[in-house]
Each structure stands twice: as C-alpha cells, then as structure tokens.
Structure 1
C-alpha cells in the first residue's frame, strides 16, 4: 500500500549494491527535502522517543494526508523524507493501514539502523498514525 514516490525509492535501492551507497542516498534524499518552517518546530510537533530532535507537522486537505518534517541529524532528516514518500498523498483513512515496518524492510533499513535510530523511526511512525487517526 506504499505510495508511488516510495516505490521509486524501492526501485532506486535495487540499483544500489552496498549499504554505504544506500545510506548516502537517504542522506541526500533528506538534503533535497524542503526545510520545515522554524515556526512549526514547537513542542506539539516534536517527536518524543528519538535520540535526535525530530518534528512532524501534518496536514489533511480534502481527505489527503501529508506532513512536513525536519531533524537536526542528517540521516534522520533523510528518514523523515523516506517516511514522507511513504505516507504523503495517501487518503487519510489509509494511513493507519500502512505496514511501515514491512515497507521500510523492503529497503533493508531494519538491518542497518542502530537500535536508537530504529526506535526513533518507530516513534515517528506512531506519531504519524496517531495524527492520521485524529483526522479521520
């Protein structure tokens, strides 16, 4: 149930042979993401459970879910960008049905992130799911 943008990432990852290249891809993907407005980096948008600072700001327009996000860590900013590709553009009612861990597993991220980073990704996913559930 992943978005087309996420499927593009999966395809790109298939061409990258080693994890170092994939790691750089994620970082570059984060660098290419539009910066989040500093005015949105407030306690209510902060994700708890991440070692680095992470903010997610959702919006629902005509039933379509999207969010902006940012982090003070380059790899985490890239992970935010990957999650945006996974969720942005989906009907808000479908967001909670996405098996994000499984989808991210297709990228091999589960095997190459530290325990702290994996916990942070889970915290981001939980926040996204909670936000979308409130919007339904």
Structure 2
C-alpha cells in the first residue's frame, strides 16, 4: 500500500483473501506469497544493520520504519524467500497507514488469509515480532 492508495485496511485484506482463494492448495499459496516477496524493493546495505534487525525471527529480517505526514512508511527485507513474502503481505496491509490504523489492526487477519495453520510456531513468532516492531513505530508516531 502506498500513502496515495485510498483502500482501507479491510479492503486490502479482502483483496488478499480473494487472491489466496484462487489457489486450491497451500503449495500454490506458498508460491503466491513468495512472488509477492519478489516485488519488494530491496533495502540498501546501510539499512541492513543491527538496529533494523527484528529479533525473534528464525530468518534474518530487517524493518525500516519512517514517519512522515502522520503516516508510518515501511520497508523490509529478509534473507529467506518465504519470509520476504510474509513481509510483503504485512507491508501491503500496513505500509503508509496512519499510526492509529496500525494500532487498531488485529493480527487475526493472518488467520483469515489461511496462514495461521500453515506457519510453524517459529514463523508465527517471527511474524508477531515484526508486527510488534511495526506497532512500536506507530506508537512513536502518536
């Protein structure tokens, strides 16, 4: 999502649900998620520093939040293709949103997308760690 996009969080989640519903099995959804990850703009080497690392993730994950005009802009990367896809999904829902919107968003949308039962415990913990960092950035903007 970009700040110019006028879709609500609920509309973005509904679009993602439709996209995931096109696939009959988890393997196809897995590939769809990895394709989403390939669309993320890469981080610059100077952004891939310890201060931007998200602890609690099995893979290496970097999150770079930026506050501008009352909105939280997010950039992220991972060294694992599947995790990069999860990051792309989170950014599609939360990037460019007002802090209040981010803080009001329940992580339950991941279950709606059918991801809850297909993520290992360590991956779920990693996603929750990324969400916690995004929410911390949002709280800093309030």
TM beyond 0.5: yes
Cα pair 1:3 1:90 within 8 Å, conserved: no
1:57 matched to 2:64? The reply is yes
1:90 matched to 2:97? The reply is yes
1:49-128 matches, within 5 Å, as: 49-100=56-107, 102-128=108-134
Coordinate RMSD, CA, aligned: 1.3
**Which 5+ residue runs of structure 1 have no aligned equivalent?**
none
Length, aligned pairs only: 135
SS in 2 for 1:56: strand
**Which 5+ residue runs of structure 2 have no aligned equivalent?**
1-7
Q: Residues 16 and 77 (structure 1 numbering): CA distance in 2 closer, same or farther, change over 3 Å?
A: same
Listed one character per residue, the Cα deviations across residues 32-86 of structure 1 (whole Å, up to 9, x for unaligned) are: 1111112111111100000110000001221122200000000001101000011
User: Could you tell me which residue of structure 2 aligns to residue 130 of structure 1?
Assistant: 136
Cα pair 1:2 1:103 within 8 Å, conserved: no
Match of 1:28 among 32, 35, 59: 35
Q: For 1:61 and 1:10, how far apart are their aligned partners in 2?
A: 29
Q: For 1:98 and 1:57, how far apart are their aligned partners in 2?
A: 19
Q: For 1:84 and 1:66, how far apart are their aligned partners in 2?
A: 9
Pairwise CA distance, 1:93: 2.0
